[in-house]
Each structure stands twice: as structure tokens, then as C-alpha cells.
Amino acid sequence: MRQVSGVAQLRTPRPDDLLWPGSSLLLTVEEVRQLWAFVHGDIMDGGIRTQLRASLGLCPRHTWVYAVVEIELWQDGAGVRAGHQPFDVTVLYQDLLDHVAVGLTRPRTLFRRYPESILTPSGPCRVCAEVVPPGNSGMRLGYAASNSAALTDEANLLTWTQRWCVETAPIWRPLACPMCEADTRQMGHPIDEPGLLCRTHLMGLGRLSADLREEVEARLRQLQKRMHRLNSSMTQYGAPATPHDDASWVETLGFFAGWGLPLHLADLTAHADERTI
């Protein structure tokens, strides 16, 4: 096993830090400890669901960390892949897609004058709130006494996450947020396709026209249907997922948390392939 957890301890990541393989922004042991417990928790318990709707899930960094932890570390499951799949992630984000889609097309009222305000979290990321800063002494027990450092080494390989991202790239790549793509490539910011923008870049446009809100709502509804089928495919009696269903979780997390990680993972593989030709 590649030992990488030491690299991850350089500083405490911030919510806007991208998960960047090969950098100091790998998952930290404390993040994995928190997220591994989160994956095992009852995320759709009423109180937690309300909290997660207010915060629109987790911050951008921890949204992707959540998916990475579940995909890399959860080894068994139903469906064709039989593990290493985003089951919990798709449960939570189906709910959040519905929440945002409803909010975007809600009629304006005196108290809710701007439907696009649904794109802005009104609560903190619960993982950011619970991560113990480095330097704090005391025992930090992993979920069910698991070895958080070993799990972190395993998660940081990103083996299964990269496989998912590369395999589904032909579907999601044309649908990625053009401004995230421009950021990744350090190019200018085209906004000729505002209907494809991620949540953060949509927020940056300020007030949104009714047409644009309806276009985004239709995209989120369509994503929700595909992700529902993907989630069912991971259960004992669900039909197999189509390639479009498989790509739905990447598109959904791209919408909520930005596209940096999948774009980077797909590019890494493309560049590696170029070098071997």
C-alpha cells in the first residue's frame, strides 16, 4: 500500500480547497475519520436531513471527500460492481436535487423574493464543524475502532473514484460547468451556456431569469431520475444502471461542489495514455 497519509497533514484543508491528487490537499486522517463515521450514520434521519438541506449537503471539498471515502472504502454491495459505489451519496443527493429544483421554480413571495437564493447554503458543513483541528490532544477513535490512518492511505489512492470518473467521462464531459472547466485549464470564463453552470458559478451570476431557472430545474430533475435508477441498481432487486445513470452522481456532485476533481482525474488518465502511446 502506498503511504501517503503523511503528505496529507501539511495543513488543515479549507472548504474551498479542491481534492487534488498528488498535492498537499489529499484527504487527512481526521477527515476520513469523520466521513467514515458519517457514511455509517443515519444520514436521512429527519433532523439530519433538515440540517443537510439547509447546508446543501457538505462544503465543496467534503462533498467530494464523502464520495471518495464511500467509493474507496466500502468494499461490499449489491449490483454489478458489488462494492466501491456511491450508494449513500446518491441517497443524500437525490434529496438535495429535489430540494433545489423545487426552490428554483417556487413563486416569489414577500419573504422569499429571490428563488435563486436556494443555491446558497444557510447552514455550515457539518464535517467542517466537527473536524478536530491538528494539534488538539486526546484520543480520536475511528468508527467502530477502525484504523483511520490505514483507511486514509487506502482512500487517498483514489483508485475506484478515478475508475468511475474516467469510465463515465464521455457522458459527463460535454455537460461539465464551462466555468469550472475554464478554471481547471486556467483559461478565460465563457458563459455562453449558463444552463450548464454549477451551483457556485450560477450564484455568481446574481439574479437569474425565469427561463434560466427553469432550464436548471429541468436539468436537476433529469439528473434526479437517473440517479434514482443508479441507486436502485445498487440494491438487490434494482435493474442494471445505464452508462448515463452511472454518470449521474459525477454530474450531481459537479453541480453542487464544482467539477475540479473529475476533470482532473479524467485529464490525469488522458495524459498518462498520451505518454504511453
Is residue 180 at the binding interface for Zn ion, with CB under 5 A as the rule? Answer: yes
Is residue 71 at the binding interface for Zn ion, with CB under 5 A as the rule? Answer: no
Is residue 177 at the binding interface for Zn ion, with CB under 5 A as the rule? Answer: yes
Q: Which of 37, 97, 169, 179 binds Zn ion (CB under 5 A)?
A: 179
| Residues binding Zn ion: number (CB under 5 A) | 11
249-268 in b/e form (b: 16+ CB < 10 A) is bbbbbbbbbbbbbbbbbbeb
Is residue 198 at the binding interface for Zn ion, with CB under 5 A as the rule? Answer: yes
Is residue 128 at the binding interface for Zn ion, with CB under 5 A as the rule? Answer: yes
Picking from 81, 106, 117, 92, the residue whose alpha carbon sits closest to that of residue 206 is: 117
Helix, strand, coil shares of the chain, percent, nearest 5, are 60, 0, 40
**Contacts (Cβ under 8 Å, ≥6 apart) of 183:** 189, 260
Is residue 127 at the binding interface for Zn ion, with CB under 5 A as the rule? Answer: yes
CA distance 97 to 89: 12
Is residue 19 at the binding interface for Zn ion, with CB under 5 A as the rule? Answer: no
Nearest approach, Cβ of residue 179 and Zn ion (Å): 5
For Zn ion, the closer of residues 13 and 79 by Cβ is 13
Q: Which of 4, 7, 12, 15 binds Zn ion (CB under 5 A)?
A: 15
For Zn ion, the closer of residues 179 and 241 by Cβ is 179
Whether the CB-CB separation of 180 and 254 falls below 8 Å is answered with yes
> How many residues are recorded in the chain?
277
Question: By the criterion CB under 5 A, which residues form the site for Zn ion?
Answer: 15, 59, 62, 125, 127-128, 177, 179-180, 198, 201
